[in-house]
Amino acid sequence: MRILSVVDGIGWGGTKEQVYLLARELSKRAIETHMALSFEYTQMVEKLKEYGIKFHFFERHHKLARYSPANYYRLWKVIKENAFHVVLANSPHAFDYVRLVYPFLDKKPKLVVVKRSARVPNRMSLRFKYAYAHMVVAVSPAVKENLVKAGFPEQKVCVIESGIDTQRFRPDSLLGIQTREKLHIPLDAKVFINVANWNPEVKAQDKLIETFSKLSCRNCYLILVGIDTDQYAPKLAQKYGIKDKVLALGFREDVEALLNASDFFVLSSYLEGISNALLQAMACGKVVISTNAGGIGQVIKDGENGFLVDVGDFDHLLKKMQRAIELSDEEIKKLSTLAVKTAENFSISTTASKYQDLFERLLS
């Protein structure tokens, strides 16, 4: 079985993390795994170089990359010359590339596209873009439900949840203490963390900072991790008078250490498929507080393994954050134990097995 995983753009986030983990796991199963990516995407190559992945560079990355005929030609050539059995498009933009070169292939592989967001494509996209896919992978039942309600054939949608590296993300109190010391955060402080690239229109970090400023807690801190958080968050923290309580760290490779240094993971998103960062936090035994975006409500049971609020209800989010800092040690232990147990159902090994089964079904 020869698989081509197509990824557009550069940087790192939930989608890129999933691309990396899945390629790594498939290669471990002796599945011949190739990746088509941007010439500039050295970060992905560096992370996967020891796993025998074969790389094909097709995209010159810039703002108008999708309008460059050369990018499409290079991808067409890659697919044509390697006789792939399955092409996996990891995002809507990656599928734009695949969809447009597909009609010009003599030997056509099976096409699989991953839908990670609960945002529903318009009718034109469903009919003239996604209809070309042999299967759409929804990362949560909620994403599938939205696609089917919009008129997409149910038989062409399957659910494969995102997976996390449970060997990397696990409770580690010593690592947490060491990380707090490096960040100069008091060991007795209550620490909230949000992990997401800066995107207020989707992730609502601006509203999270405002909400945190209203929290009744003198010894509380908020950590924001993700691309550009260090550029934009400090200005908002200063605006709300909490500059010394907000740590905006930008992109970090040591997310597992930062999660273990925190007490609570808080997600303020308007849109999600299923949040990788939320699952990682649960695997580290954190108390999670999240909006009920996308498929998160199928993971979090309010008051059992975390706390859930309606999307956009920041008054309720504030109340849940206040509730979290007032939890007893016994209550925290109960929530933490169930969070870890929940996260165990989302290992990347399980995810890879489901993808392997899907590919085999399509090829049979």
279 lies in the same domain as 328: yes
The predicted model gives 296-303 an average pLDDT of: 93
pLDDT of residue 168: 95
**Residues above pLDDT 70, as percent of the chain:** 100
Q: Is residue 118 part of a domain?
A: yes
Digit-coded pLDDT (tens) for 111-160: 999 998 878 888 888 888 888 999 999 999 989 999 999 889 999 999 99
202 lies in the same domain as 136: no
Q: Is residue 283 part of a domain?
A: yes
184 lies in the same domain as 93: no
Digit-coded pLDDT (tens) for 241-276: 999 999 999 999 999 999 999 999 999 999 998 899
pLDDT of residue 282: 97
Say which CATH number the domain at 182 has.
3.40.50.2000
325 lies in the same domain as 354: no
100 lies in the same domain as 32: yes
Amino acid at 284: C
96 with 105: CB under 8 angstroms? no
The predicted model gives 343-352 an average pLDDT of: 94
pLDDT of residue 124: 85
Q: How many helices (H) and strands (E) does the chain have?
A: 15, 13
- Per the structure, the complete domain to which residue 52 belongs is given by 2-163+347-363
Q: Is residue 100 part of a domain?
A: yes
The phi, psi pair for 288, rounded to 5°, reads: -105, 140
Q: Which residues of 187-200 are buried (b: 16+ CB within 10 A; e: fewer)?
A: eeebbbbbbbbbbb
Between residues 72 and 131, the one the model is more confident about: 72
224 lies in the same domain as 296: yes
Q: Is residue 168 part of a domain?
A: no
The phi, psi pair for 89, rounded to 5°, reads: -90, 120
pLDDT of residue 121: 84
Task: List the Cα angle 6/8/14 in 5-degree steps.
Answer: 90
224 lies in the same domain as 359: no
Q: Is residue 15 part of a domain?
A: yes
pLDDT of residue 7: 97
Round to whole Å and give the CA distance between 321 and 175: 24
User: What distances in angstroms separate CA 70 from CA 57, 74, 77, 103, 104, one per listed residue?
Assistant: 12, 6, 11, 17, 15
Residue 33 has pLDDT above 90, yes or no: yes
What is the tally of structural domains in the chain? 2
Going 305 to 158 to 350 to 273, the CA torsion angle's sign is negative
Residue 89 has pLDDT above 90, yes or no: yes
15 lies in the same domain as 125: yes
188 lies in the same domain as 326: yes
pLDDT of residue 126: 87
Between residues 128 and 347, the one the model is more confident about: 347
Q: Is residue 231 part of a domain?
A: yes
**Residues above pLDDT 90, as percent of the chain:** 89
Token code pair at residue 281: 């936090």
Task: List the Cα angle 100/10/276 in 5-degree steps.
Answer: 100
Q: Is residue 330 part of a domain?
A: yes
The predicted model gives 161-165 an average pLDDT of: 94
205 lies in the same domain as 73: no
200 with 176: CB under 8 angstroms? no
190 lies in the same domain as 141: no
125 lies in the same domain as 234: no
The predicted model gives 189-211 an average pLDDT of: 97
pLDDT of residue 38: 97
- The closest alpha carbon to 46, from 74, 16, 66, 68, belongs to 16
Q: Is residue 286 part of a domain?
A: yes
